[in-house]
Structure 1
């Protein structure tokens, strides 16, 4: 028995860091949004009982270091089965991009194995399991538009009134999230998002006001080290983006566009400069099963 799933990327429409907790993690407040850019995971039962991973890219590990492997092992242990799984990952989401590509793969594995192994777990059960793998995994299981608080695991749905076009652009390097947070001086944050306003604009379908209110406080660390992030944001705005910020800890930048034509032209222009540029749209579902 096999199953195919789309594991979708996310962007952050805002990120605020409120403080540092005693355990070393940061207390954050983020508005997260699923987009159509996705990896494809094919999961088949492995009669040997082992978990195996293969991929069409050499940019990710295909062993126990892969979060998809960890997700399969966690599910196997949780339901107490001796069954195995073979997981094939077709990567479309850029690696190390701040778009939760790995977390979305883990979300797809939990969702897929729940079906293949007939575990009968609810979506909330899977989300509770997912947080053990990473703070973004529960969001990637549920998808849509969410306010994320705590370390990102406390999720509150936001009712989005309309979808919009998004162009994402990743320069040819990655940034360590751990390093960004380590170098963030909370006392020096000069501009913070008005999260309530961001949510209000989403609920009202006011895309222009939303785009103008997006703020990611982690930019002050990443932009200082990598000027190309500012450069991409400027290019986005020159190409008629309504607003443009970095997602996650970077280095990927995205822009919101009023219509497909503007977004399509921007994608073409930016792709001529940075290969990993994609035109996509907001979506309301995280993991999507489309075969099996």
Structure 2
């Protein structure tokens, strides 16, 4: 796997295709850099998800513990001088053109920064869509961060977080990554004590679930009672790195609704338990199920068992970052 790094200041050199030096273009009192770079956009899981009543704006108030994991989409960006135009190429399963959140992220960034430029995006999808893993949100965060580096727009971190929250509830988290607590509708993210790189196995039934449909089903169910102490006991256990302490504190208020809409999820949950996972839970609105094993050896054994019942299985681990620049192909 290639090395990951940030971007320096001054006469900046950028990781990416050909490791190109930025060019420069001046116009209307603003100096605009242009060039190429490549970013890795990780998936996430929700280790804890508490859902409140629907707010007046139609969203539900949530409290969640988000964890980035090493399953990456690749986002390649190129900025060229010229009239504003956004070109998107997608490899894998994802919406094309303006229906793709990457296109919307680029358009929003250019509007907010006042920059005129041609933006070319190549998205390589590896994270399943509509899976509860935040893949599209991570891709959008990669576009925002990458364009901020490429254009020298002057938009700061706070500006990027505000743009991210306009794109989706999970997008701000991926600018931060690692282990974090999300509140509000999920867009208010606060770093937590970072969990170690614990092994995790993800299993997806090969079908997607609409987040809106899961929340509508949730609203029809009797209100559940979140664990005593909220996410605090889970966060304390994560800090120790002891899976045996983390596993019993996993919680997802949407799990029942997701299982009701897609019964295959219940089958995956049961298969994960039978395979020996210490903890098994639906991630977000589903349908992906994640399993916490005792260690790396157990993770491979669980993944092997899960491949007998699920078309998409990934054995990986927690990671401590969000979207990052990458120098070489993985």
TM-score interval (norm. to shorter): over 0.9
Matching residue of 2:44 = 10
Among candidates 162, 165, 171, match of residue 196 of structure 2? 162
Matching residue of 1:271 = 307
Over alpha carbons, which structure has the higher Rg? 2
Q: Per-residue CA shift, 1:51-89, capped at 9, x if unaligned?
A: 0111112x3222111110011001111111111211001
- Which piece of structure 1 moves more, 1-10 or 224-233? 224-233
**Matches of 2:196 and 2:73, distance apart in 1:** 24
The answer to whether 1:51 aligns with 2:93 is no
The normalised TM-score by structure 1 is 0.95
Gaps of 5+ in 2: 1-34
Q: Per-residue CA shift, 1:126-171, capped at 9, x if unaligned?
A: 1121101111110011101111111001112110352200111111
1:17 and 1:212, CA in 2 relative to 1: closer, same or farther beyond 3 A? same
The answer to whether 1:218 aligns with 2:245 is no
Q: Per-residue CA shift, 1:205-226, capped at 9, x if unaligned?
A: 2321211111111011111232
- 2:268–2:309 contact (8 Å) kept in structure 1: no
Matching residue of 1:258 = 294
Deviation at 1:116, TM superposition (A): 1.0
The normalised TM-score by structure 2 is 0.84
**Matches of 1:28 and 1:217, distance apart in 2:** 10
1:265 and 1:213, CA in 2 relative to 1: closer, same or farther beyond 3 A? same
**Matches of 1:191 and 1:165, distance apart in 2:** 29
Deviation at 1:271, TM superposition (A): 2.0
- 1:123–1:142 contact (8 Å) kept in structure 2: no
**Matches of 2:90 and 2:111, distance apart in 1:** 24
CA RMSD of aligned residues (A): 1.6
Gaps of 5+ in 1: none
Matched residue count: 291
Q: After the TM superposition, which residues 133-152 of structure 1 pair with which residues of structure 2 at under 5 Å, given as runs?
A: 133-152=167-186
Q: Per-residue CA shift, 1:93-141, capped at 9, x if unaligned?
A: 0111011111000000001111111123333321121101111110011
- 2:268–2:310 contact (8 Å) kept in structure 1: no
- 1:158–1:203 contact (8 Å) kept in structure 2: no
- Which piece of structure 1 moves more, 63-72 or 220-229? 220-229
- 2:201–2:290 contact (8 Å) kept in structure 1: yes
Q: After the TM superposition, which residues 78-117 of structure 1 pair with which residues of structure 2 at under 5 Å, given as runs?
A: 78-117=112-151
Matching residue of 1:181 = 215
**Matches of 1:144 and 1:210, distance apart in 2:** 16
**Matches of 1:257 and 1:202, distance apart in 2:** 14
Q: Which runs of 4+ in 1 moved over 6 A?
A: none
Deviation at 1:237, TM superposition (A): 1.6
- Which piece of structure 1 moves more, 244-253 or 19-28? 19-28
- Which piece of structure 1 moves more, 115-124 or 103-112? 115-124
